[in-house]
Amino acid sequence: MYVAVKGGERAIQNAHAWLAEERRGDASVAELSIAQIREQLSLAVNRVMAEGSLYDPDLAALAIKQARGDLIEAIFLIRAYRTTLPRFGASSPVDTGDMACDRRISATFKDLPGGQVLGPTFDYTHRLLDFKLAADGEVPQAPMREADPAPVPHVTGFLNREGLIEEAQPDDTPPPDLTREPLEMPADRALRLQALTRADEGFTLSMAYSTQRGYGRNHAFVGELRIGTVPVEMDIPELGFAIEIGEITLTECETVNQFKGSKTEPPQFTRGYGLVFGQTERKAISMALVDRALRWEELGEDNVGAPAQDAEFVLYHADNIQATGFLEHIKLPHYVDFQSELELVRKLRRSVEKSQHQEAAE
């Protein structure tokens, strides 16, 4: 039986009106501006840009305000907006070697050209609540020191010189784009990296953590972690040359992993790679670990059956908008589906009762 139902329009409108009021909260408390969110909740803004897959701090801040701070809802809003934009083209690959670094650390080498630059990090804080922030307070300007304007070289370059680490072979194959063509298996590394950079931070973190705990262990060191700005350059067809169309903040993580060697490769270090919009360090490290775990096949390693080695499992479950869409849809009306289930259970019970009745009679 098919039951068409209608109604609830007024209830929905009133629910939305109440949502708007609740979003505003107590009207005697000052309203948040987009600029305040952009400047003071910048790591939330960064996460929304990374997983929304659209670099625009003002839009991300607006989405966070509209979503009442629910970051997955904000990411959903950004993804929806993104689909309305005509795409002018693709940039040249950004040169992270040319990054103006706010932060650049290596866990593998103490002394390295450019040095260990901590940047504005939570590391080494005591994780004690700072009640001074509960009161208004002026922040003193951060100290400054003479800076060396030279570009900061990549750490993996040093290992490269000794031939102790696999090389990232230059290649200019146009990459596949999962926003244009459905994600298909087997996914090459370019497609995996695109899926991972926009993947849910929590999922990526858990997958990365599982490899550290032994599920597809590959013993990663953070060869280098850098955060800073790079210019984005694009060829403009009507001009016949490339120009910089903007500047973005990125977090890049390269891991250095043990590798015992295979039939074709000598023992050496291998690499995992993470590159994410904004200052998003936990995500970039997680991405590098998961990238490395997914590379087992091309490196000739054993598949030990670990979840993080299963590209289909990882890539098809990493997107929080797909996940939340499917998960949350089950709260929407399923009256007809459930009606048929109900009929089925009643029928099954009747036949069980009937046969029990017969057995009792015999």
Partner 1 sequence: MKDTTDQTPDRKAWMSLMAKAREGRVAALLDAALTRPTFTWLRAPEIGSVMVRGRAGGTGAPFNLGEMTVTRCALTLTTGEVGHAYIQGRSKPDAEAAALVDALMFTDAAATLRARVLEPLEQEQTARRTTRAQKAAATKVDFFTMVRGED
Partner 2 sequence: MQAQTLEGGFTSPATDAAHAFRGVMEAMARPGTIHALKGAKPPAPLSVAAGVALLTLCDTETPVYLAGNADCDAVRAWVAFHTGAPLTGPATCMFALGTWDALNPLSVYPVGTSEYPDRSATLIVESADLAQSGTTLTGPGIRDTAALSLPETQAFQDNAALFPLGLDFFFTSGDRIAALPRSTKVS
**Residues 267-296, interacting with partner 1 (CB under 8 A):** 271, 273, 275, 277
Q: How many residues bind partner 2 (CB under 8 A)?
A: 10
Question: Minimum distance between the CB of residue 238 and partner 2, rounded to whole angstroms?
Answer: 4
Binders of partner 1 among 116-175, rule CB under 8 A?
A: 116-120, 142-149, 154, 156, 168-175
- Return the closest-CA partner of residue 257 out of 223, 301, 296: 223
User: Is residue 186 close enough to count as binding partner 2 by CB under 8 A?
Assistant: no
- CA torsion sign, 255 to 102 to 135 to 61? negative
Nearer to partner 2, 70 or 188 (CB): 188
Measured CA angle at 72 (ends 71, 74), to 5 deg: 60
Question: Minimum distance between the CB of residue 242 and partner 2, rounded to whole angstroms?
Answer: 14
Query: Which one of partner 1, partner 2, none interacts with residue 53, CB within 5 to 8 A by kind?
Result: partner 1
Q: Binding residue for partner 2 (CB under 8 A) from 11, 27, 239, 332?
A: 239
Binders of partner 1 among 165-224, rule CB under 8 A?
A: 168-179, 189-191, 193-194, 197-198
Query: Which one of partner 1, partner 2, none interacts with residue 145, CB within 5 to 8 A by kind?
Result: partner 1
Query: By CB neighbour count within 10 A (0-12 exposed, 13-18 middle, 19+ buried), where does 121 fall?
Result: middle
Cα gap 32→38, rounded to integer Å: 10
Q: Is 17 helix (H, G, I), strand (E, B) or coil?
A: helix
* Distant-in-sequence, close-in-space partners of 292: CB < 8 Å, separation ≥ 6: 211, 218, 220, 255, 257, 270, 271, 272
Binders of partner 1 among 47-66, rule CB under 8 A?
A: 49-50, 53-56, 58-59
Q: Which residues are registered as beta bridge partners of 241?
A: 236
Query: Which one of partner 1, partner 2, none interacts with residue 237, CB within 5 to 8 A by kind?
Result: partner 2
Q: Binding residue for partner 1 (CB under 8 A) from 34, 107, 232, 323?
A: 232
Question: Minimum distance between the CB of residue 15 and partner 1, rounded to whole angstroms?
Answer: 31
Q: How many residues bind partner 1 (CB under 8 A)?
A: 85
Cα gap 109→162, rounded to integer Å: 15
Cβ pair 194, 313 in contact under 8 A: no
Cα gap 270→168, rounded to integer Å: 10
Length in residues, the chain: 362
In the DSSP assignment, the letter for residue 105 is E
Q: Binding residue for partner 2 (CB under 8 A) from 238, 302, 359, 362?
A: 238
User: Is residue 180 close enough to count as binding partner 2 by CB under 8 A?
Assistant: yes
Binders of partner 2 among 33-92, rule CB under 8 A?
A: 86-90
78's enclosing H/E stretch is: helix 71-82
Q: Which span sits near partner 2 by CB under 8 A: 67-75, 235-243, 267-275, 330-338?
A: 235-243
Nearer to partner 2, 7 or 86 (CB): 86
Q: Binding residue for partner 2 (CB under 8 A) from 170, 214, 240, 333?
A: 240
* Distant-in-sequence, close-in-space partners of 246: CB < 8 Å, separation ≥ 6: 231, 232
Nearer to partner 2, 87 or 132 (CB): 87
Query: By CB neighbour count within 10 A (0-12 exposed, 13-18 middle, 19+ buried), where does 133 fall?
Result: exposed
Cβ pair 5, 332 in contact under 8 A: no
Binders of partner 2 among 297-356, rule CB under 8 A?
A: none
User: Is residue 161 close enough to count as binding partner 2 by CB under 8 A?
Assistant: no
Nearer to partner 1, 53 or 204 (CB): 53
Query: Which one of partner 1, partner 2, none interacts with residue 308, CB within 5 to 8 A by kind?
Result: none
Give residues in contact with partner 2 (CB under 8 A). Answer: 86-90, 180, 237-240
